[in-house]
Amino acid sequence: MARKAAIVGGGVIGGGWAARFLLNGWDVAVFDPDPEAERKIGEVLANARRSLPALYDRALPPEGRLGFHATVEATVAGADWVQESVPERLDIKHRVFAQIMAAAPAEAIIGSSTSGFKPSELNEKGARAVVAHPFNPVYLLPLIELVGDAATCARAAEVLRGIGMFPLHVKKEIDAHIADRFLESVWREALWLVKDGIATTEEIDESIRMGFGLRWAQMGLFETYRIAGGEAGMEHFMAQFGPCLSWPWSRLTDVPEFNDDLVTLIASQSDAQSGHRTIRELERLRDDNLVGILRALRHTRSGAGGVLVAHEATLPPPAPVDLPVTVDRQVPVTWTDYNGHMNEAHYLEIGAQASDRFMEMIGADAAYIASGKSYFTVENHLRYLAEVMAGDRLTVTTQVLGGGGKKLHLFHRIARADGTLAATMETLLLHTDLTTRRSCPPEPGVEAALAHHVRAHAGLPRPEGAGRAIGQPVG
């Protein structure tokens, strides 16, 4: 039976929470008095369905059920997790928490998306909430700041890791927690730079995305500065740049007057910078870029990339069919090209993923490779049979055509969700000793596991397209 998440407040953040839970197999109930809430959350979900599965090389679980309710009480009934995402006014939060407490199960985790309030403030009227502060878009960015009762935060962290998030337990209460204090500092400095006519909104954004923003995405602040200290490390950096703390490099202790003139100045520059795109277009651009960055971080498991790899390992394996399913995944937009479909190189990539998965199935996994043995590909033959678009779900089944001695001969069928055969890839691999870089027989355990598959597939018809040469007539 699917677990249930109740979302109270369905704005940008609440909608992101709904998408994150729903796409990880939870049932989701939403309360929001906005008559447009269902439409808005539907649009957030459309973006999430396009981007979140594209982070993974394995399919997410089947979506849960989404429902909208007219009352808080009906929304939270039977919930395992309740997430409050109402406006940042303490009186509103107290009123909502009273309704939640009256109807939510006693064992339900109650989280607040608040950016600034402390748990002690949220719970002044008898609630038992913890801060579970996310970052937009919630369905892509993994960080959640958890603040509050240690035992509840530990339970919450387990749930959050199960939906692919990174819980950061903030041990001490402080206004705005950790991350938003940094964001607020940068925001205040940016307002001064615009107000004083030193920089435009576009120039400030360029300074972040072309420079330190890229470093922060993988290493954060202190690791970045440790490298800046060179071989002498952090102490050298501190000694070199410490004196600048007394220089007039920042106005962080001072706040510009927030008036209509400042709002008009910022808004007009922002319109000139980005007004040619709709909000939904900007969201999709943001999501596509985040998917590309996060997928790049997967390869080194740096930062959020490590969270993705760990979560993917917990996802359920594909359901068995007549042949082993070696890949079941969604196509990310980063795999498409100028023709608007999946580029030819990524057909090879998904076939290579299938070969890697089959290697794991017969015991030639990471531990085996670390011991000094592996399989090397020596020949591939790809046939492109149908177009594949971003967002398409692809399933690869693998048939063993041969597996004697050093050789491993595989045939991968790459199919779309509707059953259309999109491509086939025939591949020949040789077992290799990584110390000598020469072919050699596999270890007995791998050899026996491979022989099992060879026997299981021996009676299958030879697949259409196997053994074809390039340019050979079809049919």
Sign of the alpha-carbon dihedral angle for 287, 290, 294, 295: positive
pLDDT digits (tens, 9 = 90+) for 76-115: 999 999 999 999 999 999 999 999 999 999 999 999 999 9
User: Given this model, what pLDDT does residue 71 score?
Assistant: 97
The mean pLDDT of the chain is: 92
Distance CA 319, CA 313 (A): 16
| 228 lies in the same domain as 351 | no
Is 183 inside any structural domain? no
pLDDT at 415: 97
Residue 10 is predicted with a pLDDT of 95
What pTM did the predictor assign? 0.84
Contacts of 406 (CB under 8 A, 6+ apart): 430, 431, 439, 440, 441, 442
Q: Which whole number is the average pLDDT over 236-251? A: 74
Q: What is the CATH number of the domain that holds 382?
A: 3.10.129.10
- pLDDT at residue 380, as a whole number: 96
Q: Over 60: is that where the pLDDT of 475 sits?
A: no
- Region 298-318: what's the mean pLDDT? 90
| DSSP classification of residue 210 | I
Determine the pLDDT at residue 221.
84
Q: What is the pLDDT of residue 369?
A: 97
Smallest Cα–Cα separation from 158: which of 100, 91, 109, 192?
Answer: 109
Q: What is the CA radius of gyration of the chain?
A: 27
Task: Specify the pLDDT at position 32.
Answer: 97
Q: Provide the number of structural domains found in the chain.
A: 3
pLDDT of residue 263: 82
Q: Within a domain: residue 236?
A: yes
Residue 142, in any domain of the structure: yes
Spatial CB neighbours of 129, under 8 Å, sequence gap ≥ 6: 84, 97, 110, 111, 112, 119, 122, 123, 148
One domain for residues 203 and 163:
no
CA distances from 237 to 223, 227, 232, 352 (A): 11, 9, 8, 44
Is the pLDDT confidence value at 245 over 70?
no
Strand positions, DSSP E, 337-420? 373-384, 393-402, 407-416
Task: For residues 191-215, give the mean pLDDT.
Answer: 92
- What is the DSSP track for 277-342? S-HHHHHHHHHHHHHHHHHHHHHHT-THHHHHHHHHTTSPPPPP-SS-EEEEEEPPGGGB-TTSSB
Answer whether residue 216 shows pLDDT above 90: no
Q: Contact at 8 Å (CB) between 41 and 18? A: yes
**Residue 351 resides in a domain:** yes
What dihedral do alpha carbons 149, 154, 156, 159 form, nearest 10°? -170
Least confident of 20-24, 161-165, 179-183, 361-365: 179-183
| CB 297, CB 368: distance < 8 Å | no
CA 411/CA 155 separation, integer angstroms: 45
Element (H, E) at 446: helix 444-457
Q: How confident is the model at residue 320 (pLDDT cuts 50, 70, 90)?
A: low
Residue range of the domain that includes 330:
325-457
What is the Cα–Cα distance from 241 to 165, expressed in whole angstroms?
A: 35
Shared domain check, 199 and 167:
no
Do residues 200 and 171 share a domain?
A: no
Shared-domain flag, residues 153 and 12:
yes
- Residue 319 belongs to some domain of the structure: no
pLDDT of residue 161: 97
